[in-house]
Structure 1
Amino acid sequence: MSDSNFTVSVRVAATPDQAFAAIVDPRSWWGENIEGDASRVGAEWSYRYKDLHYSRQKTTELVLGRRVVWEVVDSALNFIEDRTEWTGTTIRFDIAPKGEQTEIVFTHVGIRPAVECYAICSDAWTGLITGSLRELIETGAGDPDSVEKTAA
């Protein structure tokens, strides 16, 4: 199990298409300091949080109402020894209807218990996916940049 990628899932009271639309708008749930467009295949965009985290993603797969995939092409995490630990990892959202709800399975491929940022990154992702993203989908208002609240 120690080589498993980080995964968290959440069920939301929304359609798969509504969940998809929220996911491809990371500025509304992940962080306000995002430059670029995550909603187009081939587009590169970046996330920055203070001087602690920078990452540049490339949107590599979009299947309406079913899947979103971002490849991390560059990163600088200033809170761990290997600052490029995210580079070469994949952020994936699998979306599926579950009765009256929609299930989102989030996987950060390459972030495993053996890597340094696992504890901090898994706490932050869990809070963002089960908190901010879920709130955006269900209420129309996420809580971007809530990473310190969830990781603290």
Structure 2
Amino acid sequence: MNTKNYSRTISVNTTPDKAYQALTADIEHWWTKPDTPLTSVGDLAKFTFSPGKTFWIFEATQLQPGKRVEMQCVKALHLHDAMPKVIEQEWLGTKVIWEIIRNSSHTDIRIEHIGLVPSLHCYEICEAGWDMFFVDSLKLYLNTGVGKPHQKPNH
């Protein structure tokens, strides 16, 4: 059984401080809009996805400006029609860690989602989601100022 956590690294043309800002207060510009931003350790933020039922609540567990952001999933409700009910809680207790590393000409950002492993029912869906939002949208946001965050449909 493969127990390797989801992880990726992107290189962006920005400063570590701007990368940190994007991972905290500006997360809505590339992922989805939380009900409140994660700006202090202990903050809770609810990230909801359309049609407004799937959500994850994360607690900020470590915030080091320009260096590191950690958040732990403290409540989960992942609804997906084509998947078994067990996926609803698969993120509960998992931890997302972003590390920011300044290099001479760019900044690297590494994500590791501890607990998001291939044995989970949601792994392929969640891997594709993180790839879309982290690898594509965050990189685009930091390089151009415009990301591709989740958009709630207009009704």
Q: Using structure 1 for the length normalisation, give the TM-score.
A: 0.90
Query: 1:17 & 1:26 partners in 2: Cα distance?
Result: 14
Task: Note the residue ranges of structure 2 that are not aligned, 5 or more in a row.
Answer: none
Aligned residue runs from structure 1 range 30-41, under 5 A? 30-32=31-33, 34-41=34-41
Do structure 1's residue 142 and structure 2's residue 142 form an aligned pair? no
Query: 2:65 & 2:32 partners in 1: Cα distance?
Result: 22
Do structure 1's residue 86 and structure 2's residue 91 form an aligned pair? yes
Q: Using structure 2 for the length normalisation, give the TM-score.
A: 0.88
Deviation at 1:29, TM superposition (A): 1.0
Query: 1:138 & 1:70 partners in 2: Cα distance?
Result: 24
Backbone CA RMSD of aligned residues:
1.4
Deviates more, 1:43-52 or 1:9-18: 43-52
Give the % identical residues.
28
Partner residue of 1:116? 121
Partner residue of 1:11? 11
Please tell me the residue identity of whatever aligns with 1:103: D
Indicate the SS of the match to 2:89.
Answer: coil
Deviations 1:42-87 (A, max 9, x none): 1101011114621000011111111000100000011132111101
Indicate the SS of the match to 1:54.
Answer: strand
Partner residue of 1:47? 47
Task: Note the residue ranges of structure 1 that are not aligned, 5 or more in a row.
Answer: 147-152
How many residue pairs get aligned? The number is 145
